[in-house]
Structure 1
Amino acid sequence: MRKTWFWNVDPTWENFSYLLEDQHRAKKVENAFLENKYKKSCLYFAGVSIESLLNKIMRTKLEDEGKSENKIYNTLRYEGFKGKLKKWPKKVFDSSLTLTDKESNLFDLFETFYEMRNTLTHPKHEDHSIYVDLEMTDVSEIKETVSKILLQLFILRDKIFPYWLLGWNFIGFNRDDNHPVILNNSQFLHALSRMGIINSQTAWSADHSDEWQIKNMSSYKSFLSLKKKLNSYPLNEENSENYEGPILTKNWWEY
């Protein structure tokens, strides 16, 4: 079978971005019908955001071990979401994820909706009790929990986390001002430099850039600190006469 690859495709980034957009919209709607729609979407994208990264991590491990594609595919397919979440970090990194009781309860709800996604078209449950849980679900908690879990996984794998986990995205793919685009952390530092958050030498020097990322993008504490600093700025970097590339913005869905 012919393999196909696309630029600007990353399932974890895409699903997490969809989660951010829909949790924002869930807070803005004026009726329960639309609120339920966006909450269901948030729960779905919460689960697949995490699972897509877990699958990628396990695929890399199995490929490094020389496993066949059939073996890899079946491993990713037949292990349940909870099993992946609880067992795979320990298996790959020899380190378990840290979850509070509240976060564990949210994951139970993620799994419930994740398993229900194929039955929602043809409901099989006798009553609507799941909607009570849905009504009580705080979409902000969903986002924060997913952010925390993804952050732990990225740090275990890469030692640093990607900029988009902070909730900001670049827009301007193929000169389309409305189209989000995934870039690397180096480009993120250049955006911070254009915004005046860091100096240009930190962005342009590879060594300084690496040092800055290790210091500021390698822990939950630094994540919260950088997020707070970013959120104190306007919603996007200002356009510069000398720069015509993608710009960093917070509410990219509004463009």
Structure 2
Amino acid sequence: MIMDKHWRWNSNYAWHYFSSMKYEEALVAATKSEFMRYHHLRSCIFFSVACVETFLNVKMKDFMGKNGSSDEEVLKEIKIRKLKDKLKKWPKAISGKDIKIPLEIKSTIDIYEDLRHDIVHVKPLDHSFYLKLDDVEPEAITDAVARLMVTVHSSLDEEFPYWLLGWNYIGLNGSLAQVMEMNNYNSFMYSLRNLGFRLNGSVTPQEWIKRAMVNIKGYEMLKQALDGLEVDIEPEIPRFPHMPRLTRKWWAYQ
């Protein structure tokens, strides 16, 4: 039995989990406490696995829905498949292409999924699990998750969302504490201009995004450019004080 559906604004699960993962990555680097470091490492692992599975579930839901499957059929398919099976088979199934996730991406995600299981199903024979946590590199898992999602978007001839670059928007109606998901066309491209990027003025936003945000090459280009900026937030435009602004440290305003 499917319960009545409920919808609300600003509630993209994959965006929430990816952003939470990036937040935990930043907190791992900032903390001075061993206890809190392990806390944030565990959280980063949880959110990374949740993000990957949620993203794949949504893509399969959309695919099955377009092919006439019922909600019950979609939920059954989502529930019976393990994440490793979803990673192996679903990208090809939903894209109709012989797409293969790069081995280094799949291996990284597999490692952290296994760590997630170790956290949930702890078997306390000794404390060796902490040695595994000591080897965790949050940047590696967040990058692998982003690259996986870019790869799947690319296989579907979709542009990847700007937030896979780790930046978010704040400032709706002047509230810097409000984090929100915007879009590539009416927001991100103009934010890049406000941050000093020189975009080709002879093309429309749609054309520029279709060229720059459709594959791993574009992801790497934009990520390197954004990571190299000296500023952390899009400058305020005095004429539009309530306009949302793009920032890499969106959590600092909460």
Q: Give the TM-score normalised by the residue count of structure 1.
A: 0.89
2:171–2:243 CA contact under 8 A, matched in 1: yes
- Trace 1:18-97 onto structure 2 (pairs within 5 A): 18-93=20-95, 94-97=97-100
Corresponding position: 1:99 with 2:102: yes
User: Which position in structure 2 is the counterpart of 1:183?
Assistant: 182
1:173–1:179 CA contact under 8 A, matched in 2: yes
1:20–1:143 CA contact under 8 A, matched in 2: yes
**Residue 116 (structure 1) shift:** 4.4
User: Which position in structure 2 is the counterpart of 1:193?
Assistant: 193
Report Cα offsets for 1:207-244 as digits up to 9, x if no partner.
Answer: 61111112211121121111222233311111111122
CA spacing shift, 1:158–1:128, aligned 2, 3 Å: farther
1:196 and 1:70 mapped to 2: Cα distance? 49
Q: Which amino acid aligns with 1:188?
A: F
Partner SS, residue 30 of structure 2 = coil
1:19–1:46 CA contact under 8 A, matched in 2: yes
RMSD of Structure 2 on Structure 1 (CA): 2.0
User: Which position in structure 1 is the counterpart of 2:233?
Assistant: 236
CA spacing shift, 1:116–1:174, aligned 2, 3 Å: farther
Report Cα offsets for 1:136-187 as digits up to 9, x if no partner.
Answer: 1111111111111111112223431111111111012454211210011011
Q: Which amino acid aligns with 1:236?
A: I
| Higher mean C-alpha displacement, 63-72 vs 244-253 | 63-72
Q: Which amino acid aligns with 2:152?
A: L
User: Which position in structure 2 is the counterpart of 1:253?
Assistant: 251
User: Which position in structure 2 is the counterpart of 1:214?
Assistant: 210
User: Which position in structure 2 is the counterpart of 1:152?
Assistant: 151
1:47–1:110 CA contact under 8 A, matched in 2: yes
**Residue 126 (structure 1) shift:** 2.2
1:7 and 1:175 mapped to 2: Cα distance? 18
1:51–1:81 CA contact under 8 A, matched in 2: yes
Partner SS, residue 177 of structure 1 = coil
1:63 and 1:100 mapped to 2: Cα distance? 30
CA spacing shift, 1:181–1:59, aligned 2, 3 Å: same
1:191–1:247 CA contact under 8 A, matched in 2: yes
1:169–1:182 CA contact under 8 A, matched in 2: yes
Q: Which amino acid aligns with 2:9?
A: W
Corresponding position: 1:136 with 2:161: no
Runs of 5+ in structure 1 lacking a partner? none
1:56 and 1:23 mapped to 2: Cα distance? 24
Partner SS, residue 182 of structure 2 = coil
Q: Which amino acid aligns with 2:128?
A: S
**Residue 195 (structure 1) shift:** 2.6
- Trace 1:116-131 onto structure 2 (pairs within 5 A): 116=118, 118-119=120-121, 123-131=122-130
Partner SS, residue 254 of structure 1 = helix
Percent identity between matched residues is 28
1:226 and 1:172 mapped to 2: Cα distance? 23
2:212–2:218 CA contact under 8 A, matched in 1: yes
Q: Which amino acid aligns with 1:99?
A: P
2:157–2:214 CA contact under 8 A, matched in 1: no
Q: Give the TM-score normalised by the residue count of structure 2.
A: 0.89
1:188 and 1:34 mapped to 2: Cα distance? 34
